[in-house]
A and B are shown apart, each in its own frame.
Chain A
Amino acid sequence: MAGAKGILGRKLGMTRIFGDDGTIIPVTVVEAGPCPVLQVKTVENDGYEAIQVGFDPIPDRKANKPNRGHQAKAGVGCHRLLREFRGPVEQELGQALTVDMFAAGDKVKVTGTSKGKGFQGAMKRWNFSGQKATHGSEKIHRVPGSVGHCTYPGKVFKGKKMPGHMGAKASTVLNIEVVEVRPEENILLLKGQVPGPKNGYLTVRKIEGR
C-alpha cells in the first residue's frame, strides 16, 4: 500500500525460527492491523495532514459516547486504540491499512510502552556503579553517592539522575528487520525484541528516506 506510514499492532510474544540457511532467528510475533482510517485530517480543517487509524475492534457499547460518535463517521465500528500518522494523505475514510505495506527484509521502527519497573534505585535505573561490596563498606552498597557540588553552585542541578519510577514509558527501537509478513493472519515477524509486555500495543513505522 503506497503512502502508508505505518500500522498499529499488538505484541503476541516471542519465539525462534530457522532461517533459510539454517540459522536460528529470534522473532517477535506482532499482530498488526487491519487498521481502518477513521479520520482524514487536512490542512484546511486541522492545520496539518494526517490520517487517524484505529486498531483492536470493540463493541460499540464499550466505547464512550464521544468516541462512539467520532468513530461512527467512518462507519467501520469502534476501536480501542486510535493513533495518527502524519504526512500526505493517500487513503480514504474507512480504508484499512494492512501488513501488506511491509515486505520481508524491510527495516522498521517500533514504538511501544516499555514494561513498568516501579520505583528503582540509581544502579538499575541509570546504570550507576554503586559502592564497594567489601573493604569496610558497611550497609552502603547501592546508594547513588554524592549528588551535588560545593558552596558554589550550592544546589543540585535539575535533571540529576536519581532513583525514581522506571519503565512504563514510550520507547522506540530503530532498524528492526521484518523477517516475515503473513497477510492472511495479519501477522508480522520482527527480528529481535520490541518494547513492552505481551499484548502491549505497538506502532510499527516505515523508516523514511531509505
Chain B
Amino acid sequence: MNAIQNIEQEHLRLDMPQLKSGDTVKVYLRILEGEKERIQIFQGVVLRLHRGTTDATFTVRKVSDGVGVERIFPMHSPYIERVEVVTRGKVRRSRLYYLRNLKGKAARIKPLDQK
C-alpha cells in the first residue's frame, strides 16, 4: 500500500490552490496545436470537487453565449498550467448542481465576506 502512495505522491501537484465549491476560478490550460503550445483560459464557477490523490478532479461551469459549459479537470494534470482563484464564493452545499437550472441574475454566487 505504501508503495502505491509513494507513486501517487510523485504525480501530485503541490502548487494547486485550495479550491472550494462556489469559487470562481480561471483555469490556464496548455493547448497543443501541432508543434505550438498556447494557453487557453477557462473561467467559471467550481461546481464540485472530487477528492482523491491522482484521480482528484474539479468541475468548472461557465455560461458561454447563453449555453452552459461544464468541464471536468483532473486536479493534478500537467496540462493545467495554473489555476487562479478570482473570488471565493459563499455557498451552503458542496455540490452546486442547482446552478444548472438557474439563469442570469439568479445564477450568481455571493462572494465570501472577508471579515
A interface residue numbers (CB < 8 A to B): 12-13, 15-18, 22, 24, 27, 29, 31, 185, 187, 189
Which residue in B4, B30, B79 is a CB contact (below 8 Å) of A15?
A: B4
B77 touching A15, Cβ below 8 Å? no
Q: In the complex, what residues of A have CB within 8 A of residue B54's CB?
A: 15-18, 24
* Contact count band on B: 10 to 19
A29 touching B77, Cβ below 8 Å? no
Inter-chain CA distance A12–B78, complex, in Å, is: 26
Q: In the complex, what residues of A have CB within 8 A of residue B6's CB?
A: 185
Q: In the complex, what residues of A have CB within 8 A of residue B11's CB?
A: 17-18
A24 touching B74, Cβ below 8 Å? yes
Chain A CB within 10 Å, residue with most, of B3, B6, B74, B79: B3
Q: In the complex, what residues of B have CB within 8 A of residue A27's CB?
A: 7
- Apart from A12-B4, A18-B74: 16 A-B pairs, beta carbons within 8 A: A12-B1, A12-B3, A15-B53, A15-B54, A16-B55, A17-B8, A18-B54, A18-B76, A18-B77, A18-B78, A22-B30, A24-B77, A29-B4, A185-B3, A187-B3, A189-B7
Tell me, rounded to whole Å, the shortest Cβ–Cβ distance linking A160 to chain B: 43
Tell me, rounded to whole Å, the shortest Cβ–Cβ distance linking B26 to chain A: 19
Tell me, rounded to whole Å, the shortest Cβ–Cβ distance linking B76 to chain A: 7
Chain A CB within 10 Å, residue with most, of B6, B7, B76, B78: B7
Tell me, rounded to whole Å, the shortest Cβ–Cβ distance linking B53 to chain A: 7
Q: In the complex, what residues of A have CB within 8 A of residue B76's CB?
A: 18
Tell me, rounded to whole Å, the shortest Cβ–Cβ distance linking B97 to chain A: 24
Q: In the complex, what residues of B have CB within 8 A of residue A16's CB?
A: 54-55
Residue of B nearest to A14 (CB): B4
State the 4 A-B residue pairs at the shortest beta-carbon distance, nearest first.
A22-B79, A22-B78, A17-B11, A29-B4
A15 touching B78, Cβ below 8 Å? no
